[in-house]
């Protein structure tokens, strides 16, 4: 098991300061409480939201980007609209302009919830999945998981097997998103001895599952690891200094 402490989900106090070098701040937010805050988004993001054909997807995009902007703005003490993002060649967003390099972050959303990890200097990736009880997950496991991982998975009864499928899937996704280098290498190549169902190390990355809320699975991947993961629930009020 990876030696990292993980706090319970809490509401932040007003004086919460930014993460230190060995701490990650992980935020969860309820998409419905931020679905109409398009004014916080850049023109480009607003255009992207308008191009999304499904209103549900557009609302989720607006909610997750506006939450991300508010969370980062809180640390950086800038208005959410004044934050500028660029993306690397694989599409991973990062802070640009005057704020470049001040914080690392990554974002994920699924169903009614979003997740955002914030840390200093080092790369981080997060993935959130709402457990789909109808999904035929076994063909996906065969396609994307290694033989050792499939052997590990097949040892569980149906209910636990599904949950462990989502755990391993999110671990891989968070690791891929942390590296931010495209998705042509889904084989995380975990040491089978470390496929415990909650945490693993690979190539200097720590990859850790955690509960988000009932029916959801989350994972974070941290380059070089961390001592502490502090989990915060975004209260949903608009932050605009
Ligand atoms: C890009 C990808 C990771 C998005 O994943 P998703 O589950 O659809 O969406 P999530 O909610 O987790 O993440 C979306 C956010 O990740 C960020 N993101 C986008 N591209 C990214 C990248 N290359 N790296 C890291 N983060 C990225 C963005 O902030 C995006 O939010 P936005 O749409 O508001 O800009 C996904 O489309 C993908 O290609 N996955 C790989 C598939 C695969 O091979 N999986 C094997 C697992 S075993």
**Alpha carbons 113 and 50: distance in angstroms, whole number:** 21
At 91, the pLDDT band (50, 70, 90 cuts) reads very high
Query: Using a 6 Å cutoff on CB, does residue 90 contact ligand 1?
Result: yes
pLDDT of residue 163: 94
- Residue 194 is predicted with a pLDDT of 54
Does any ligand 1 atom lie closer than 6 A to the CB of residue 65?
A: yes
Instruction: Check residue 239 and give its pLDDT.
Output: 55
Q: How far apart are CA 125 and CA 108, in angstroms?
A: 9
Q: What is the mean pLDDT of the segment spanning 136-150?
A: 90
DSSP states along 133-201: TT--HHHHHHHHS-HHHHHHHHTS-HHHHHHHHHHHHHHHHHHHHHHTS-SS-------GGG--SSEEE
Kindly list the domain boundaries of the chain, sorted by start residue.
Answer: 19-120, 123-225
Is 104's C-beta closer than 6 angstroms to any atom of ligand 1?
no
Going from the Cα of 102 to the center of ligand 1, the distance in angstroms, rounded, reads: 22
Those residues with Cβ within 8 angstroms of residue 127's Cβ, 6 or more apart along the chain or in another chain: 108, 115, 169, 170, 171, 173, 174, 177, 218, 219
Say what the pLDDT of residue 140 is.
94
Atom of ligand 1 nearest to the CA of 90: 23
Q: Is the CB of 172 under 6 A from ligand 1?
A: yes
Rounded distance between C-alpha atoms, residue 29 and residue 115, angstroms: 6
Residue 166: predicted pLDDT: 95
The answer, yes or no, to whether any atom of ligand 1 lies below 6 A from the CB of 106, is yes
Q: What percent of the chain has pLDDT over 70?
A: 88
Q: What is the pLDDT of residue 204?
A: 83
Å from CA of 110 to ligand 1 middle: 11
Q: How confident is the model over 163-217, as pLDDT tens digits?
A: 999 999 998 899 889 988 766 655 555 555 555 666 666 778 888 999 999 999 9
Q: Is the pTM of this model over 0.85?
A: yes
Task: Give the fold, CATH level 3, of 19-120.
Answer: Ribosomal Protein L22; Chain A (3.90.470)
Instruction: Give me ligand 1 centre to Cα 177, in Å.
Output: 6
Going by alpha carbons, the residue nearest to atom 46 of ligand 1 is 186
Is the minimum distance from the CB of 219 to ligand 1 under 6 angstroms?
A: no
Q: How far is the CA of 127 from the centre of ligand 1 (A)?
A: 8
pLDDT of residue 185: 58
13 CA distance to ligand 1 middle (Å): 30
What digits encode the pLDDT tens for the residues 214-240?
999 999 999 998 999 999 999 875 555
Burial degree of 133 (CB within 10 A; 0-12, 13-18, 19+): exposed
How confident is the model over 57-84, as a mean pLDDT?
A: 94
Do the first three CATH levels of 19-120 and 123-225 match, i.e. the same topology? yes
- Architecture of 123-225 per CATH? Alpha-Beta Complex (3.90)
Residue 53 reports pLDDT greater than 80: yes
Q: Binning pLDDT at 50, 70 and 90, where does residue 241 land? A: very low
């Amino acid at each position: 098991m990876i030696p990292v402490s993980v706090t319970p989900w809490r509401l932040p106090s007003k004086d919460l300061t930014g993460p230190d070098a060995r701490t990650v701040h992980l935020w969860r937010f309820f998409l419905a409480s931020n679905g109409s805050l398009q004014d916080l988004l850049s023109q480009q993001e607003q255009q992207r939201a308008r191009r999304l054909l499904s209103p549900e997807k557009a609302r989720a995009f607006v909610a997750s980007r506006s939450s991300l902007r508010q969370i980062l703005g809180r640390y950086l003490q800038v208005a959410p609209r004044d934050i500028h993002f660029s993306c690397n060649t694989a599409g991973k967003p990062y802070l640009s302009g005057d704020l470049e390099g001040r914080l690392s972050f990554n974002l994920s959303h699924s169903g009614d919830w979003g997740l955002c990890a914030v840390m200093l200097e080092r790369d981080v990736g997060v993935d959130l999945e709402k457990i789909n009880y109808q999904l035929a997950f076994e063909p996906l496991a065969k396609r994307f998981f290694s033989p050792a991982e499939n052997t590990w998975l097949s040892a569980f009864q149906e209910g636990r097997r599904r949950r462990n499928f989502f755990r391993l899937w999110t671990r891989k996704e968070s690791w891929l998103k942390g590296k931010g280098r495209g998705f042509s290498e889904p084989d995380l190549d975990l040491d089978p001895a470390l496929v415990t169902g909650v945490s693993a190390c690979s190539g200097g990355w720590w990859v850790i599952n955690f509960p988000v809320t009932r029916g959801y699975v989350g994972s974070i991947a941290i380059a070089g690891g961390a001592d502490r993961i502090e989990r915060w629930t975004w209260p949903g009020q608009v932050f605009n200094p």
